[in-house]
Structure 1
Amino acid sequence: MAARVRAEDRECPLSTAMSYVGEWWTMLILHDCFDGYTRFDQFEANIGLSSSMLTARLKTLLENGILTKRAYQDRPVRYEYVLTEFGRSLRPVLVAMAAWRNEQLAPEDRAMILVDAVTGREVEPTVVDPATGLPVSDPRFVYTAGPAAGEQMRARYRSRP
């Protein structure tokens, strides 16, 4: 995990998640990965990121276990970048972020939409509590200190308004 997380936030899953994917270039690389791109030159062409910056971002994704590298050519050796299981688990996060933004736009202003590949029907994803079926955006769902919370995290939620 990157060291950018403040000491007091090391327990917070939001803070630590952002240490993995918080830079917008990283999100764009992951978007490309979920669209099936795997090669450096593809990322470079799609995103428009300098090769040195792309190299640094890919290195971080490799170090954090989000991507793995595998050779696809021997002479010269060339690698592709493939999502790990941990990396693939980020897909719902990107889907939710895109859906959140699309909610703010009129349907005709949406440049990218999520569709069912079989039917072509547009999908409006939601995150729901499986026990109640309610969207987790409902105000009844709140964060509280969990079993592994330290004193600082417990104090945060004891003093919540």
Structure 2
Amino acid sequence: MRWDDLDRETCSLSRTLAVIGDRWTLLVLRDAFLRVRRFEDFQASLGIARRVLTERLKLLVDEGVLKKVAYQERPVRYEYRLTEKGLGLYPALVALVHWGDEHYAGKKGPPLLHRHLACGHDFKSVMTCSECGEAIDPREVKPHAGPGARKRA
């Protein structure tokens, strides 16, 4: 399988990686969730080359993860906002952040905490079963073919 062919794979993870599977794109998304919206602010936060940032933002807009919204008329200038599709990436990104907190935060602890505004507590991501509500342990999951699986000959 070639990197450029991931978007044509039957695997949902491969198709997802075709959109968000490089480090700059994940960091752009991190900043978008931290409410960074303008090109210059992404560039300043990330220290990324303009060409690379332009490519990543274009891909995310083309894929419907971000949308461009004009914030100035003359000259027209845009900011980038998460769409519903983009907001759907939050559980995956926060899970990666919390995994990093657990394994790489260092002695002082995580550099950023996440507070649930409804209850006022800092939280750690937990995956639960949509049917019974129990926490998911990967050793207690058995994948099986779904309706979109390739038919075997």
TM-score, structure 2 as length reference: 0.87
Residue 86 (str. 1) matches residue 47 (str. 2) = no
RMSD of Structure 2 on Structure 1 (CA): 2.2
The match for 1:135 is 135
Contact 2:98/2:125 (8 A) holds in 1:
yes
Distance 1:62 1:135 in 2: 34
Moved more, 135-144 or 59-68: 135-144
Contact 2:38/2:80 (8 A) holds in 1:
yes
Percent identity among equivalent residues? 35
Residue 115 (str. 1) matches residue 139 (str. 2) = no
The match for 1:71 is 70
Q: Tell me the number of residue pairs that the alignment of Structure 1 and Structure 2 aligns.
A: 150
Deviations 1:97-149 (A, max 9, x none): 11112222467332122223466532111011033333223412122111221
- In structure 1, the gaps of 5 or more residues are 156-161
Distance 2:5 2:45 in 1: 27
Letter aligned with residue 5 of structure 1: L
SS in 1 for 2:80: strand
Distance 2:94 2:18 in 1: 19
How far 1:20 sits from its partner (Å)? 1.2
Distance 2:68 2:149 in 1: 35
Distance 2:28 2:74 in 1: 26
SS in 1 for 2:130: coil
SS in 2 for 1:79: strand
TM-score, structure 1 as length reference: 0.83
- In structure 2, the gaps of 5 or more residues are none
SS in 2 for 1:151: coil
The match for 2:25 is 26
The match for 1:13 is 12
The match for 1:98 is 97
